[in-house]
Structure 1
Amino acid sequence: MSESAHLRFFPYEEPYPNQREAMDRVANALDRGQDVLFEGAPGTGKTLSALVPALEHAREHDRTVVITTNVHQQMRQFVEDARAITRTEPIQAVVFKGKSSMCHIGVDYQECQTLRDATRSVVETEGDRRELEQRQRELLAESREGDASAAEAREAVMEELDEIEDELDEMEDATVCERYYNNLTRDTDAFFEWLFDDVRTPDDVYDYAEERDLCGYELLKEGMEGVDLVVCNYHHLLDPNIREQFFRWIDRDPSEIITVFDEAHNVEDAARDHASRELTERTLDAALEELAEADDSRADAAENVIRAFRDALVETYDESLGFGAREAVGDDWEDVTVANEDRRDDLTLAFLERYEGRGIDTETELAVQLGGALDEEYERRYRDGETESRKECQVLQAARFVEAWMDEGAELGQYPIVSVRRDAGTDEVYGRVELYTCIPRAVTSELFDEVAASVLMSATLRPFDVTREVLGVENAAELAYEMAYPEENRRTFAVDTPPLFASERDDEETQATVADTLRDAIRFTPGNTLVFFPSYAEAERYDDILGGTGSLADPDLGTRYLDGPDVDTEEIRRTFVDAEDATLFTSLWGTLAEGVSFDGDDARTVVVVGVPYPHLSDRMEAVQDAYGRAFSDTGRARDPGWTYAVEVPTIRKTRQAIGRVIRGPDDYGVRILADRRYTSADMGKYSVRGAFPPEEREELLDLPPEKLKFAMLNFYTDHDAYHGPPPEP
Structure 2
Amino acid sequence: MLRFDDDARTLALGVHDLLEAGPPSGHLSMQAAWSARARMRAGQDAHSAWQDARASDDDSFQREVSLVHRVVVLGWEASISGRIDGLSREGDHTIVEELKSTALPGERLAGLGADDFPHWTRQLQLYLHFLERARPGAAPGTVLGRLVVVSLVDGLQRVLHVPPDPDMGRWLEAQLRHIIEEREQTLAWRAIRRAASVPFAHDEWRPGQQGLAAEVQEALAQGRHLLLTAPTGHGKTAAVLHAAISVAWATDRRVFFATARTTQQRMAEETLRAMAVRGLPLRAVSIRAREKICLNDVVACRPDACPYARDYYDKLRDGRLTERAWDAPGTGGQVGPDDVVAIAEPARICPFALSLDLARGADVIVGDYNYVFDPAMRLSVVSDDPDAWIVVVDEAHNLPERAMGYASPSLDLGQVEQAAAALDEDPRYRAIADLAQRIAAWLRQSAQAARDAGGELALPLDEGVDPRAVRQLARDVDGVALDYLLLKHERPLFPPGGDDPWLEVARAMLRLRSAVDRAGEETVAIWRAAHRRRGGRRPRRPPTGQLTMLGPATADAVGSEDVSLSLLCRDPSPVLGPLFLDLAASVQMSATLEPPEFYARMSGIAEDRLRVARFSSPFPPENRRVLLLPQVSTEYRRRARDREATAALVSAAVRAVPGNVAVFCSSFALRDDLLPLLDLGDRPVLVQERRMSEEDRAALLATLRRAEGHVLLGVLGGIFAEGVDLPGDALLA
TM-score range (shorter-chain normalised) is 0.5 to 0.7
Contact kept, 8 Å, 1:301 with 1:363, in 2: the verdict is: no
Matched residue of 2:478: which SS?
helix
| Rounded Cα–Cα distance in structure 2 between residues aligned with 1:516 and 1:93 | 48
* 1:236-635 paired onto structure 2 within 5 Å: 236-247=371-382, 253-289=385-421, 303-310=437-444, 337-339=456-458, 364-381=470-487, 392-393=502-503, 396-397=506-507, 399-400=509-510, 403=513, 411-414=521-524, 416=526, 418=528, 427=537, 432-474=564-606, 475-487=609-621, 490-495=623-628, 497-498=630-631, 500=633, 502=635, 505=638, 517-541=649-673, 543=674, 549=676, 565=690, 570=697, 583-597=711-725, 603-605=731-733
| Rounded Cα–Cα distance in structure 2 between residues aligned with 1:33 and 1:450 | 11
**Distance verdict in 2 for CA 1:591–1:443, change over 3 Å:** same
Partner of 2:543: none
Contact kept, 8 Å, 1:314 with 1:431, in 2: the verdict is: no
Partner of 2:315: 182
**Distance verdict in 2 for CA 1:106–1:279, change over 3 Å:** farther
Partner of 1:60: 250
Matched residue of 1:104: which SS?
coil
Q: CA RMSD in A?
A: 4.7
| Residues 504-528 of structure 1 deviation map (CA, whole Å, 9 limit, x = unaligned) | 73695x7787566435424433345
**Distance verdict in 2 for CA 1:435–1:187, change over 3 Å:** same
* 1:95-106 paired onto structure 2 within 5 Å: 95-105=286-296
Q: Per-residue deviation at 1:343?
A: 11
| Rounded Cα–Cα distance in structure 1 between residues aligned with 2:687 and 2:492 | 53
**Distance verdict in 2 for CA 1:516–1:344, change over 3 Å:** farther
Contact kept, 8 Å, 1:93 with 1:199, in 2: the verdict is: yes
| Rounded Cα–Cα distance in structure 2 between residues aligned with 1:460 and 1:587 | 18
- 1:231 pairs with 359, 366, 391, which one? 366
Give the AA of the match of 1:380: L
Matched residue of 1:434: which SS?
strand
| Residues 165-224 of structure 1 deviation map (CA, whole Å, 9 limit, x = unaligned) | xxxxxxxxx997234442355554652553585312122112212112233333333333
Q: Per-residue deviation at 1:594?
A: 1.2
Contact kept, 8 Å, 1:36 with 1:478, in 2: the verdict is: yes
Which deviates the most, 566-575 or 45-54? 566-575
- 1:93 pairs with 265, 276, 284, which one? 284
Partner of 1:145: none
| Rounded Cα–Cα distance in structure 2 between residues aligned with 1:187 and 1:519 | 57
Q: Per-residue deviation at 1:95?
A: 1.9
| Rounded Cα–Cα distance in structure 1 between residues aligned with 2:283 and 2:350 | 20
| Rounded Cα–Cα distance in structure 1 between residues aligned with 2:488 and 2:391 | 38
| Residues 662-706 of structure 1 deviation map (CA, whole Å, 9 limit, x = unaligned) | xxxxxxxxxxxxxxxxxxxxxxxxxxxxxxxxxxxxxxxxxxxxx
User: Given the alignment of the two structures, is residue 218 of structure 1 paired with residue 391 of structure 2, yes or no?
Assistant: no
Q: Per-residue deviation at 1:239?
A: 0.8
Q: Which has the higher strand share?
A: 2
Give the AA of the match of 2:264: Q
- 1:82 pairs with 262, 272, 278, which one? 272
Partner of 1:199: 334
Contact kept, 8 Å, 1:291 with 1:395, in 2: the verdict is: no
Contact kept, 8 Å, 1:6 with 1:56, in 2: the verdict is: no
Give the AA of the match of 2:614: A
**Distance verdict in 2 for CA 1:556–1:286, change over 3 Å:** closer
**Distance verdict in 2 for CA 1:417–1:408, change over 3 Å:** farther
Which deviates the most, 10-19 or 455-464? 10-19
| Rounded Cα–Cα distance in structure 2 between residues aligned with 1:484 and 1:590 | 24
Contact kept, 8 Å, 2:284 with 2:362, in 1: the verdict is: yes
Question: How many residues end up aligned between the 2 structures?
Answer: 504
Partner of 2:138: none
Partner of 2:129: none
**Distance verdict in 2 for CA 1:226–1:596, change over 3 Å:** closer
Q: Which has the higher helix share?
A: 1
Q: Per-residue deviation at 1:451?
A: 0.7
Partner of 1:155: none
| Rounded Cα–Cα distance in structure 2 between residues aligned with 1:437 and 1:577 | 41
Q: Per-residue deviation at 1:285?
A: 0.9
**Distance verdict in 2 for CA 1:597–1:199, change over 3 Å:** closer
| Rounded Cα–Cα distance in structure 1 between residues aligned with 2:244 and 2:360 | 18
**Distance verdict in 2 for CA 1:218–1:401, change over 3 Å:** closer
| Residues 343-382 of structure 1 deviation map (CA, whole Å, 9 limit, x = unaligned) | 956xx7xxxxxxxxxxx66555443233112211222345
Q: Per-residue deviation at 1:257?
A: 0.8
Q: Structure 2 unaligned runs (5+)? A: 1-193, 540-561
